[in-house]
């Protein structure tokens, strides 16, 4: 296979007019990896790495089945956000558009109906754009690569789309990426005034909620990269207890393993910064004896990971840290054990709240008075978890009361966040702990996708205190020294 792939790439000799020229044939440059241009990433028949053309066709068929007779779906790609004049921020495709088309590039509008199948309106790049930005997907790529039934330049949308809208009973569009270019069309305005325009996310999230076997594989790989990267970062934290260095390290370790980007800005909170749930400054040194909380994830070919670990970079937990850590770990493990088809996120959440309240009362941090629920909510205002997939907080149109099904991926992320100003003994002040795993619901129960990342205290202590360069390292107080 490798040899075949090498032979193919050796044939690549030049690039002109949007086509790679090979000695034997011309291969379209679709502006994103294809099996022909990136055989190291895609197999023949894949539209994006790991997802075949047939799967994209099935997604579109199922979306059309969810629409009423004569329904029309309009999905625009994500907008490009500019950093300054002609310099854009890194582009990330909208998950619904990617799910339906496989196109990772900006500028297109996809329209679907039972009558026309997939019709793509695509930007046209002029030679000047190609000089500055390289080839982008246009009409040719829509037909060749994304297997659209028809495709037109974007400038023809105002001539073709109004008729499609007028003939439709209902219009479903992606409200998040809606564009004036189609919303300002008279036909769309009329449909809107007539109450015929709806948000499509109810339908797309329904389809994205249960992951296919191919999607499950990508979720496994994305989780595996995040686990390997976080383990390297945990080891690195001993010599470099610094939030910005750990943030750089995790991104480096994810990217060199093939991730396209981080799934979100990593949370790297040392000491009391860990009590800020979505802490993002990541600019402080971590004091000896403090914990660091890292909530991280990466994106691999459109599928994200999300896991959190909390540990003492020095290698040793204080008694108060360990007491709270054990409570969060037990809650994490008990909630994971409850994951199975039929259970809902709401049920898991309610169970976790009872367990955490009980544990926090036993420590004396939570007083059993009439404000107990209010005080608990201050110490942990988060949900036990969320759906995970192409987005980090995935499929928000699906209710958390929905009984889970095989193929759904959720996170389990109990935590406790004690503000420094909170009325507790000093040794508890400013402690923030979260332990987050990804759980795939299976026919018989669950598979923990992030199970390879250590979370037991004895494993963390062992990883941070054992041999290093052949020397035995021992801990004295919070200092680690080589015992020679
Ligand atoms: N890991 C980010 C979040 O769940 O909000
Ligand atoms: Mn999460």
Tell me the pLDDT tens digit for each residue of 169-199. Answer: 999 999 999 999 999 999 999 999 999 999 9
Q: Which ligand 1 atom sits closest to the C-alpha of 413?
A: 4
pLDDT recorded at residue 20? 52
Ligand 1 centre to CA of 356 (Å) is: 19
Q: Where does CATH 3.90.230.10 sit in the chain?
A: 210-483
CA distances from 253 to 237, 256, 280, 357 (A): 13, 5, 19, 37
What does pTM read for this prediction?
A: 0.92
CA distance 144 to 135: 15
Nearest ligand 1 atom, CA 385:
4
pLDDT value, residue 368 = 87
Which residue out of 309, 389, 393, 400 has the highest number of ligand 1 atoms within 8 Å of its CB and is therefore the one to mutate? Answer: 393
pLDDT of residue 26: 76
CA of 392 to the centre of ligand 1 (A): 7
How many angstroms separate the alpha carbon of residue 295 from the centre of ligand 1?
7
* Nearest alpha carbon to residue 263 among 226, 294, 211, 224: 226
Helix 319-337 to helix 345-363 angle (10° resolution) is 150
Contact 182, 74 (CB under 8 A): yes
CATH dotted code for 25-207: 3.40.350.10
Ligand 1 centroid distance, CA of 288 (Å): 26
Among 276, 387, 413, which residue has the most ligand 1 atoms within 8 Å of its CB, making it the best to mutate? 413
Name the closest ligand to CA 263.
1
Q: To test ligand 1's pocket by mutation, which of 250, 278, 410 has the most ligand atoms within 8 angstroms of CB? A: 278
Atom number, ligand 1, closest to the C-alpha of residue 306? 1
Distance between CA atoms of residues 231 and 234, nearest Å: 5
Q: Which of 306, 409, 417 to mutate to test the pocket of ligand 1 (most atoms within 8 A of CB)?
A: 306
Mean pLDDT (the chain, rounded) = 93
Phi, psi for 412 (deg, rounded to 5): -125, 110
Q: Whose atoms come closest to the Cα of 437: which ligand?
A: 2
- Which ligand 1 atom sits closest to the C-alpha of 308? 1
Residue 110, classified by CB atoms within 10 Å of its CB into exposed (0-12), middle (13-18) or buried (19+), is: buried
Ligand 1 binding pocket (C-beta < 6 A) is 264, 295, 306, 392
Among all bound ligands, the one having the nearest atom to the CA of 264 is: 1
pLDDT at 18: 55
CA angle 286, 289, 295 (to 5 degrees): 50
pLDDT for the residue numbered 328: 98
* 289/411 Cα distance (integer angstroms): 29
The atom of ligand 1 lying closest to the CA of 297 is: 1
How many whole angstroms from 385 Cα to the centroid of ligand 2? 6
| Alpha carbon of 389 to ligand 1 centroid (Å) | 12
Q: Which atom of ligand 1 is nearest to the CA of 296?
A: 1
Measure 413 CA to ligand 2 centroid, in angstroms. 7
* Distance in Å, CA 402 to ligand 2 centroid: 18
Low-confidence ranges of the chain (pLDDT < 50): 1-17, 21-23, 470, 472-484
CA of 322 to the centre of ligand 1 (A): 23
Residue 477 CA to ligand 1 center (angstroms) comes to 33
d(CA 436, CA 226): 12
Residue holding tokens 């769309």? Answer: 188
Length of the chain: 484
Which pairs with CB-CB distance under 8 Å and at least 24 residues apart come from 148-151? 148/101, 148/110, 148/117, 148/118, 148/119, 148/120, 149/116, 149/117, 149/118, 149/119, 150/116, 150/117, 150/118, 150/119, 150/120, 151/119, 151/120, 151/121, 151/122
CATH number of the domain located at residue range(s) 210-483 in this protein: 3.90.230.10
**Number of the ligand 1 atom closest to the C-alpha atom of 264:** 2
Helix (H/G/I), strand (E/B), else coil: 300: strand
Ligand 1 atom at minimum distance from 436 CA: 1
Pocket test for ligand 1, best of 230, 411, 435 (most atoms within 8 A of CB): 411
Alpha-carbon distance 243 to 272, whole Å?
12
Q: How far is the CA of 248 from the centre of ligand 2 (A)?
A: 20
């Amino acid at each position: 296979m490798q040899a075949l792939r090498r032979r193919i790439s050796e044939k690549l000799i030049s690039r002109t007019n949007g086509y790679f020229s090979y000695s034997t044939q011309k291969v379209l440059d679709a502006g994103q990896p294809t099996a022909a241009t990136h055989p190291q990433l895609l197999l023949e028949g894949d539209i994006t790495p790991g997802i075949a053309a047939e799967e994209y066709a099935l997604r579109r068929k199922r979306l059309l089945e969810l629409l009423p007779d004569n329904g029309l779906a309009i999905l625009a790609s994500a907008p490009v956000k500019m950093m300054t004049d002609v310099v854009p921020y890194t582009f990330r495709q909208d998950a619904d558009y990617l799910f339906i088309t496989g196109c990772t590039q900006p500028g297109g509008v996809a329209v679907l109906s039972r009558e026309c199948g997939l019709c793509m309106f695509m930007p046209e790049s002029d030679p000047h754009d190609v000089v500055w930005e390289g080839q982008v997907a246009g009409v040719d790529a829509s037909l060749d690569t994304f297997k659209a039934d028809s495709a037109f330049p974007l400038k023809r949308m105002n001539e073709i789309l109004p008729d499609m809208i007028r003939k439709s009973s209902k219009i479903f569009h992606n409200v998040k990426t809606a564009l004036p270019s189609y919303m300002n069309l008279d036909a769309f305005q009329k449909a809107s005034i007539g109450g015929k325009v709806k948000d499509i996310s109810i339908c797309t999230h329904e389809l994205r909620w249960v992951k296919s076997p191919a999607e499950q594989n990508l979720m496994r790989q994305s989780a595996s990269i995040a686990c390997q990267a976080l383990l390297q970062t945990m080891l690195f934290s001993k010599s470099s207890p610094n939030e910005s260095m750990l943030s750089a390290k995790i991104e480096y370790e994810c990217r060199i393993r093939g991730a396209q980007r981080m799934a979100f800005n990593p949370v790297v909170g040392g000491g009391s910064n860990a009590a800020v749930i979505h802490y993002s400054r990541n600019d402080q040194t971590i004091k000896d004896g403090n914990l660091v909380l890292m909530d991280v994830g990466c994106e691999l070919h459109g599928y994200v990971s999300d896991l959190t670990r909390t540990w003492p970079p020095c290698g040793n937990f204080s008694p108060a840290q360990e007491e709270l850590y054990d409570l969060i770990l037990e809650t994490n493990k008990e909630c994971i054990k409850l994951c199975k088809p039929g259970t809902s996120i709401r049920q898991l959440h309610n169970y976790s709240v009872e367990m955490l309240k009980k544990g926090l009362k036993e420590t004396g941090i939570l007083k059993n008075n009439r404000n107990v629920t209010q005080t608990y909510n201050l110490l942990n205002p988060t949900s036990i978890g969320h759906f995970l997939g192409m987005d980090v907080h995935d499929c928000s149109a699906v209710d958390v009361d929905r009984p889970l099904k095989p193929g759904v991926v959720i996170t389990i992320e109990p935590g406790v966040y004690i503000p420094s100003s909170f009325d507790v003994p000093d040794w508890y002040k400013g402690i923030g702990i979260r332990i987050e795993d990804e759980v795939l619901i299976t026919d018989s129960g669950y598979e923990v996708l992030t199970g390879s990342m250590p979370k037991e205290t004895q494993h963390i202590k062992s990883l941070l205190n054992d041999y290093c360069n052949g020397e035995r390292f021992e801990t004295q107080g919070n200092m680690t020294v080589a015992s020679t």
